[in-house]
Structure 1
Amino acid sequence: METLSGIAICPEAPQINHLLFADDSMLYAQASVEACNQIKDVLRIYEMACGQKVNFSKSIVTFSKNVTEALQGEIAELLNVVVVESHEIFLGLPTYVGRAKTATFQYIKERLGKKLEGWQGKCLTGAGKDILIRVVAQSLPTDLLKHGMRWQISNGAGLRVWMDLWLPNAYPFVSVPQLQGGGIYMNKVQQLFVPQDVALVKSLVLSERNLNDRRVWHLDSKGQFTVKSACKLCLGLQHAANGGGAAVISKVWKGVWQACIPGTARICIWKVLQNILPTVDRLVSKGVQIESYLCVLCGMGNESSDHLCRLCPFTKTLLESEEELKRVCYEERNHRVWEQVEAREGDVLFSLNARLTDFQFYRRSLSRIERGSCRWKPPAQGWLKVNMDGAFSSSSSSGGIGIVVRDAVGTCVGGFCQALEDVYSAKHVEALAGRAAVKFVRDKGSSPVVFETNSLTLANATKQAVIPHTSQLSRVYDDIIEGLNFIPGSMFKHAYRQANCVAHCLASFASLSRSSLVWENIPPNFILNVLSSDCNFV
């Protein structure tokens, strides 16, 4: 095999011409007839020595993009193997990883989801729990799990209040109130909890069913472990150990990633802050031979990220004219290095202003898309449509929900609105509106029904997925999905706010007046005008 040239990941790395593992082996060689003959000779000697024969009908070959189809066919015929675009999996991992890394490794998430399907929320045997822990939990550091896991309260039967983490966004350090039938004895809470934790306890989102408590990863919006959330947790713990500063750093990064500038500019600023721009000083530190260390923009100082973006006279001229992006300096530097094209400071600034103005105008245009034509539409004949909405007041931790039911001709056949207390977010209110709407329809025995909400989060959460939703609101979503199973043909759909005006009016009324209403056939007077403009019903 020494006569075969293999592949190398970089110019100074050794060449690899084979990877052998049991009965799954890969050979690398130059795409030539001579290399194929050498491979056949090696395999012939192997067969003579061990008595085993290579099954070429189960073998495949792949080529790089610069190999002609004629040569590919000749080599494949010589080896008597099938040509494929790429070897998908080797030892459980993809052999080729391009730019779309999320799509490349999606199969791992899907495979894990299928293994966990049906496990979560069910009673497992001791052996089953042992397998789950070995497969999933032991792959994560114990201290990381300790800081990222929380108990999601349902019936509270097995909760160890003095030891377990269960309060959202906090550590428990006082006794638990008695939990019974999904309700909490609030007078006990007032006695045992400090004021800030009383609000946390009241905001616990409980299921209407008697379910067991479960562990969730509280650092993710869906309650599921992700590498991104674990990375943020590690950084937070590291900054806390070093005396804080995590909040300041987080504010800086939010300012970068949420800036109304092109994505390439955000990436460039991130590289500057991380000091990973491929400037001369960074290239030299990596062992790259550079002829001159001077900055190509000014020719006066050694090129570094600090000099290029702050100290260079060329950069200073731009920044003094107007506070613009540092990316343009690096871009002009690349033009001079690779294209030997120079531009004056004024020309660069004019070009940048034009590009930035066009970008921001385009962003504003997208955010102002008119949705006046998005009106409420009646359901199909024989169906009912239920619109729901929620209103939330962060200052008082209160809100209201509104539900309206209409038929195929737009006639209002029923609805209600209700005031809510101890809610912590608009998503919380929207989720409670969805659960109340399903319960309202189920109690009436109506079907089939289309449920419409202007909350995209709620609409998506009510769709069954391979991996269950385990966020703080997941018990409400579970109740909704369970209720939909008893309403044949029902479904949740997303609608824009313009198509959900009546429900929004009802929710706002309940939130402001702190009152509740229920009706059938005859709607309250304060929504008649909205109904009329919504579906021409008076």
Structure 2
Amino acid sequence: MKGLAAPGPDGLPALFYHTYWDIIRKDVTTAVLNVLNHKGDSTPYNQTYIRLIPKKKNPSQPSDFRPISLCNVILKIITKTIANRLKLILPEIISPNQSAFVSDRLITDNTLVAYEVFHFFNQSSSKKGFIGIKTDMAKAYDRVEWNFLQITLETMGFPQHLTDTIMNCVKNVMFSILINGKPSQNFIPQRGLRQGDPLSPYLFIICANVFSGLLTKAQTERRIHGVKVAHGAPEVSHLLFADDSLLFCKATVQEATVIKNIILEYQEASGQLVNMEKSEIVYSRHVPHQIKENIGHILPMKRVNHFSKYLGMPTHVGRSKRQVFDYIQDCVWKKIKGWKAQHLSFAGRSTLIKAVAQAIPTYVMSCFLLPKELCSHIESMICKFWWGSNNDKRKIHWIKWSTICKHKKKGGLSFRELRAFNEALLAKQGWRCITQPNSMVAQVLKAKYYPKTTLLEADIGSKNVSYTWRSISKASWILKKGGLWNIGNGATTNIWTDNWLPRQQGHKIWSPKGEATQTWVKDLMIPEIRSWNRQLIFDTFMQFEAEQITQIPIVHLSRPDEFSWPYTKDGIYTVKSGYQAIQDWKEDPNKPSTSYKPKNNSVWQKLWHLKIPPKYTHLIWRILQDALPVQSNLRKRGVNCYPLCPRCKENIEDLNHVFSGCWWAKQVWFASPLTLKFDQNEFSFKNWIEDNIRKDQSQNMNLIGAICYHIWRARNLLTFQNKNVPVLDVIHRAQECLFEYHRQVKPISEQVNRNTRARSNNDSDWIPPPKDTLKLNVDAHLMGDGHWGLGWILRKEDGSLVGAATKVVRGLNEAIEAEAMGVVEAIMFLTEFQNGSVIIETDNASIVKAIHRRSYPRLYWGMLARKIREAMEENPKISIQWVNRNKNTVAHVLANWAEVEPNKIWLDNLPPHIVGHIQKDMMPSHVSSV
């Protein structure tokens, strides 16, 4: 929970609970569990304030306000706990037509499907045609009938205890409205869900699922017919996103009547009310006017040519793209115009640009490719704001926009290039179509645009394709260039055209095909022994490629090949990593590196980690970029100005002179705690700053940054206001501001460190397993020749040896792959040596989390983790857990010993130094916890 979110009637925000959790933990936990497990009364925590948020300017009636509930944090803990449980099962019980609040479903799914349907409407030549209805639910949350909610939960099979607990939290509420900040008289509601309660969104979509069920039943019984945009596409009769509904059926009186009856039936049961005046209806092309009139009598809604927007997105994009998307530029301009740049530091402007101005187009850019001209105009507005320009005065742009848009670690400020970011967002849609082929949007796009191929091989198509598909297609080059196929059974990866070599530049095969007849990677395998056909591979490919191929681990022949994104640690595409890849390719177009982090300049990287106010950091950045408006720089830009220093009037004012050359600046540095003397012979202040940043002397650099800022501030006061700041005032002000900043920031960092402090390093005891259970510890070690040594040991509860082994494997790129392979090999070892319960321990937390959560990265180690999980399901007596590295010593020593004695199994007579570690684990202090 957000620490400083508006508190409930008890006045305690979540930050209070975060801060004093050690003190109140027991009481809070007891109260919460009493409600959750023992049907305790939630009334003491259910007092709620209502804050009325205006929907428009000058609201005049209750419907012009949105009621937001301010609940007590204890109640939020209760309902959040229930919501977290519900989230796990919602994908299984909520209709695929509902995209709100369900994991792996996005609001853009509905937008893309709806756009394809409306594109079909515009292209349809049938006189029978279809209709689309956009309903407006009046006060949707506030109208939910409690009896309807309870019956729905019971009908869907929720346990009675859980249903009673949910209804207890929903019903036992007492409201008071905040009027001018003061609560009104209490009142008890008779229906409705609170907006502000973590549980409410999930309860609402459970209720809305009834509406979806009525429509689906009518569709199944062929009383209504949905829209199929292409042969093989799913038939879409409705799309829901919370209370936003789109309904589709044939343009006939009969089907319109069915839709109306379903709406009325749902309204009567649930308490919902469709506002016919605000709802809209649209017809496909060539539907006769008389049919429109007849349907209009049944569904008295506003008839439109096309919906202006659906879920905030345009539903029709014609030839003039600028006309459709110009409103984005207007929104950005309104925001920028309302900010007073002259009253903001560069750090403040940077925050507003990133958090607001560049965030405005993001939602639309996730589905549509904005025109280049529009992106340039928006960037130009943002750039002018950054440098302080306005309608009256234009400021000098000291640094190129392309440099500012570079990553902070590469000398920029991490502003976004909108066009590249737009493509990265659209590539995410392509990624989801590849990795979630059963989603509705993936099925619709595949059936319409690439029914016989894959998205990576699809063309944009004819002139009549939708603009959303054209946008996604134009961004698919990112996935084609940077994606990588992880080999499973090798049946779907083309040897010659697909990206599948993880260490190869470009990931593709370079060897000429020649007379080779093999097409798929599986043709290079010997599946019976789970191995590569080395003879065939070395005969077909160049030697360096043959060696790469044979080092790829054959992990899981029962799994299909997986498309992955090698720029993230879990192999899953993210917009951030896609955008960074585009920026890297611009610098080196022929090198799609698979490293997680780009090569960075250490100066820039360390600069942004200095513990000084952001405005100080931005000034140092401008010094290093030589982007300060000193007199010498102004004259280079053609500004006619007095070139000499306004203080000493002896030397030309440049960076060196302002910060270290002027007699006044020298006095500042010498009088400071640093007691520095500068020699101006061949001295570069910029290089001196860089050297100090590299030295990692953070305390000195913090003070240097503060002094630089106040020297520059004093220079500006003298230049523009003719105020002469004394030397000691500069030093005192710099120290005072730095002290105040650290005083405010330090408590936060101490809290973070306290919350994340690791267990004591002195805790190195191996923990024996319970009685009649064995424990297997496993680890991996990188050997000198680039191969990996694996080691594992199986012991009883008294620490005595059952068996141990080492093994050497090749072809693994990362330590986590070797750790996962070690667990796989250890499980194979177990099948030969035991039939009882075994606990496997590894010191790699990521592997254990992936197995327990059944969330497997799209990387080779993810395949291994999946294989481990399958083996554990086949043998329920095997479990796995994480252990601190200090408690995994023997396995670590064995992994190292694999370099000396590889591929060996011991049942006794282990090497003496390994026996010593085992005996240490068997000492009384180690086994006392049994």
Scaled by the length of structure 2, the TM-score of the pair is: 0.40
1:143-182 correspondence to structure 2 within 5 Å: 143-170=477-504, 171-174=508-511, 178-181=524-527, 182=530
- Alignment partner, residue 893 of structure 2: 505
Is 1:328 the equivalent of 2:706? yes
- Alignment partner, residue 372 of structure 1: 762
| 1-structure distance, mates of 2:434, 2:495 | 28
- Alignment partner, residue 446 of structure 2: 130
In structure 2, what residue type is equivalent to 1:143?
A: W
1:65-464 correspondence to structure 2 within 5 Å: 68-70=180-182, 73=184, 127=443, 130=446, 138=472, 141-170=475-504, 171-174=508-511, 178-181=524-527, 182-241=530-589, 250-253=598-601, 255-257=603-605, 262=610, 269=617, 273=621, 314=665, 317=669, 323=692, 324-325=701-702, 327-329=705-707, 332=710, 343-345=729-731, 371-393=761-783, 395-464=784-853
Change in 2 beyond 3 A, CA 1:396/1:350: farther
- Alignment partner, residue 288 of structure 1: none
| 1-structure distance, mates of 2:862, 2:776 | 22
Contact kept? 1:309, 1:329, Cα under 8 Å: no
> Shift in Å at residue 431 of structure 1?
1.9
Q: How many residues align?
A: 454
- Alignment partner, residue 902 of structure 2: 515
| 1-structure distance, mates of 2:137, 2:844 | 62
Contact kept? 2:620, 2:705, Cα under 8 Å: no
- Alignment partner, residue 250 of structure 2: none
| 2-structure distance, mates of 1:242, 1:210 | 35
- Of 167-176 and 524-533, deviating more is 167-176
| 2-structure distance, mates of 1:426, 1:172 | 26
- The CA RMSD over aligned residues, in Å, is 6.0
In structure 2, what residue type is equivalent to 1:179?
A: M
| SS at structure 1 position matched to 2:894 | helix
- Of 524-533 and 369-378, deviating more is 369-378
In structure 1, what residue type is equivalent to 2:821?
A: L
Change in 2 beyond 3 A, CA 1:42/1:270: closer
Q: Write the deviation string for residues 262-312 of structure 1: whole angstroms up to 9, x where unpaired.
A: 4557996478548999x997xxxxxxxxxxxxxxx9899999999988999
| SS at structure 1 position matched to 2:777 | strand
Q: Write the deviation string for residues 95-114 of structure 1: whole angstroms up to 9, x where unpaired.
A: xxx9999xxx9xx9xxx99x
| SS at structure 1 position matched to 2:915 | helix
In structure 1, what residue type is equivalent to 2:500?
A: W
In structure 1, what residue type is equivalent to 2:181?
A: E
| 2-structure distance, mates of 1:237, 1:118 | 23
> Bigger radius of gyration, 1 or 2?
2
> Shift in Å at residue 255 of structure 1?
4.9
Contact kept? 1:377, 1:535, Cα under 8 Å: no
> Shift in Å at residue 388 of structure 1?
0.4
Is 1:484 the equivalent of 2:872? yes
| SS at structure 2 position matched to 1:485 | helix
Contact kept? 1:390, 1:433, Cα under 8 Å: yes
> Shift in Å at residue 396 of structure 1?
1.3
> Shift in Å at residue 167 of structure 1?
0.5
Scaled by the length of structure 1, the TM-score of the pair is: 0.64
Percent of counterpart pairs with the same letter? 16
Contact kept? 1:502, 1:530, Cα under 8 Å: yes
| 1-structure distance, mates of 2:877, 2:893 | 28
In structure 2, what residue type is equivalent to 1:387?
A: N
| SS at structure 1 position matched to 2:809 | strand
Change in 2 beyond 3 A, CA 1:85/1:267: farther
Given candidates 907, 910, 921, the residue that maps to 1:534 is 921
In structure 2, what residue type is equivalent to 1:142?
A: S
Q: Write the deviation string for residues 49-107 of structure 1: whole angstroms up to 9, x where unpaired.
A: xxx996598289xxxxx97531x648999xx99985599999779xxxx9999xxx9xx
Change in 2 beyond 3 A, CA 1:238/1:405: same
| SS at structure 1 position matched to 2:586 | helix
Q: Which runs of 5+ in 1 are unaligned?
A: 1-24, 30-34, 44-51, 61-65, 282-296
Change in 2 beyond 3 A, CA 1:146/1:53: closer
Change in 2 beyond 3 A, CA 1:235/1:403: same
Q: Write the deviation string for residues 458-484 of structure 1: whole angstroms up to 9, x where unpaired.
A: 333333345x31123222222112112
Contact kept? 2:789, 2:896, Cα under 8 Å: yes
Change in 2 beyond 3 A, CA 1:433/1:348: same
Contact kept? 2:707, 2:730, Cα under 8 Å: no
| 2-structure distance, mates of 1:509, 1:459 | 25
| 1-structure distance, mates of 2:186, 2:622 | 47
Change in 2 beyond 3 A, CA 1:304/1:418: same
Contact kept? 1:447, 1:488, Cα under 8 Å: no
| 1-structure distance, mates of 2:816, 2:472 | 33
> Shift in Å at residue 520 of structure 1?
3.2
> Shift in Å at residue 155 of structure 1?
2.4
Contact kept? 1:439, 1:483, Cα under 8 Å: no
> Shift in Å at residue 503 of structure 1?
0.8
| 2-structure distance, mates of 1:129, 1:139 | 11
Change in 2 beyond 3 A, CA 1:260/1:424: same
Change in 2 beyond 3 A, CA 1:268/1:497: farther
Change in 2 beyond 3 A, CA 1:153/1:310: farther
In structure 2, what residue type is equivalent to 1:173?
A: W
In structure 2, what residue type is equivalent to 1:69?
A: G
| 2-structure distance, mates of 1:479, 1:41 | 56
| 2-structure distance, mates of 1:419, 1:496 | 24
Q: Write the deviation string for residues 304-348 of structure 1: whole angstroms up to 9, x where unpaired.
A: 99998899974994786783356424664799899x997444995
> Shift in Å at residue 412 of structure 1?
1.7
> Shift in Å at residue 494 of structure 1?
2.2
| SS at structure 1 position matched to 2:560 | coil
In structure 2, what residue type is equivalent to 1:532?
A: Q
- Alignment partner, residue 56 of structure 2: 28
Change in 2 beyond 3 A, CA 1:458/1:55: closer
Q: Which runs of 5+ in 2 are unaligned?
A: 1-52, 66-135, 145-177, 202-241, 245-310, 313-351, 357-361, 367-427, 448-453, 456-467, 514-520, 630-645, 679-687, 693-700, 718-724
Change in 2 beyond 3 A, CA 1:201/1:53: closer
Change in 2 beyond 3 A, CA 1:400/1:40: closer
Change in 2 beyond 3 A, CA 1:238/1:90: farther
Contact kept? 1:419, 1:510, Cα under 8 Å: yes
Contact kept? 2:659, 2:711, Cα under 8 Å: no
| 1-structure distance, mates of 2:558, 2:591 | 44
Change in 2 beyond 3 A, CA 1:223/1:165: same
Change in 2 beyond 3 A, CA 1:53/1:229: closer
| SS at structure 1 position matched to 2:61 | helix
- Of 320-329 and 303-312, deviating more is 303-312
| SS at structure 2 position matched to 1:188 | helix
